[in-house]
């Protein structure tokens, strides 16, 4: 019997809602800022991991392999140069907020006596070792738990969230394809599907009457023949 491959779909458990992304980022930023005040290093590192995944849509392997030389933090065209699947290199353009976070993070690394030479990894543990992909997954799961979000999400869910909401904002599949580094635009089309939130927004209020219906206005119920401003024809 012939076997048919099922098309991979982006179901609701594979990406975070916008509200969930904002909650995650806010929670981890708050914990990082608290750690910075106390001279601790765990959450500042985790905050950078989350920001790269959510704010640039990078794969976990791309985050793990980032080096200082891959950062182009010019205010005119801030971008990150990454090597993705198939050893393909691409430039991922980033927001000014993420650029500022990266600049601040580099300065913080120096205060921690970490070198920032071009061949140094961006993300290093407190033991001065680069993070493995498993270590980054662990960091995400800890952040997820601290934020009170469902445990079925993976760090790759942030990449899917990035693709989904970038497409919703731009309606430009080619742009999303280039940012995510897909070799085929057919892969990128999964982000063009509608979300639950979009569907609910569309159906709420459908066919419901407005508070004031001009076609059913009964404010003037006086018959024309009784209107004193008009005279009956003779």
Residue of 153, 162, 167, 191 marked active site: 191
Does residue 156 carry a catalytic annotation? yes
Contacts of residue 167, Cβ cutoff 8 Å, sequence gap at least 6? 173, 176, 188, 191, 192
105 is an active site residue: no
Closest to 105 measured CA to CA, from 56, 45, 55: 45
Q: Is 182 a catalytic residue?
A: yes
Given 31, 45, 59, 160, the catalytic residue: 59
- Look at the block and give the residue holding tokens 């979000």: 149
85 labelled catalytic: yes
- Say whether 2 is catalytic: no
Centroid of chain to Cα 98: 12
Concerning whether 159 is annotated as a catalytic residue, the answer is: yes
Distance CA 207, CA 77 (A): 46
Of 23, 79, 141, 156, the active-site residue reads 156
Write down the catalytic residue from 159, 162, 165, 167: 159
Q: Which of 85, 88, 100, 129 is catalytic?
A: 85
Q: Which residues are catalytic?
A: 59, 85, 156, 159, 182, 191
């Amino acid at each position: 019997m012939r076997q048919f491959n099922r098309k991979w779909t982006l179901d609701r458990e594979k990406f975070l809602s916008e509200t969930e992304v904002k909650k995650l980022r806010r929670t981890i930023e708050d914990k990082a800022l608290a750690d910075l005040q106390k001279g601790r290093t765990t959450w500042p590192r985790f905050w950078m991991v989350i920001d790269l995944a959510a704010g640039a849509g990078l794969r976990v392997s791309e985050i793990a392999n980032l080096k200082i030389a891959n950062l182009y933090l010019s205010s005119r065209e801030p971008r990150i140069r990454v090597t993705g699947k198939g050893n393909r290199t691409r430039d991922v353009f980033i927001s000014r907020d993420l650029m500022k976070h990266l600049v601040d993070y580099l300065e913080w690394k120096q205060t921690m006596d970490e070198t920032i030479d071009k061949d140094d990894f961006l993300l290093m543990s407190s033991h001065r070792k680069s993070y493995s992909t498993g270590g980054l997954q662990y960091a995400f799961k800890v952040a997820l738990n601290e934020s009170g979000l469902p445990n079925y999400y993976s760090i790759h869910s942030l990449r899917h969230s990035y693709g989904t909401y970038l497409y919703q904002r731009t309606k430009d599949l080619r742009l999303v394809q280039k940012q995510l580094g897909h070799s085929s635009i057919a892969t990128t089309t999964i982000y063009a599907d509608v979300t639950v939130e979009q569907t609910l927004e569309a159906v709420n209020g459908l066919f419901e009457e407005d508070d004031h219906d001009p076609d059913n206005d009964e404010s003037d119920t006086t018959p024309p023949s009784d209107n004193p401003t008009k005279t009956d024809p003779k």
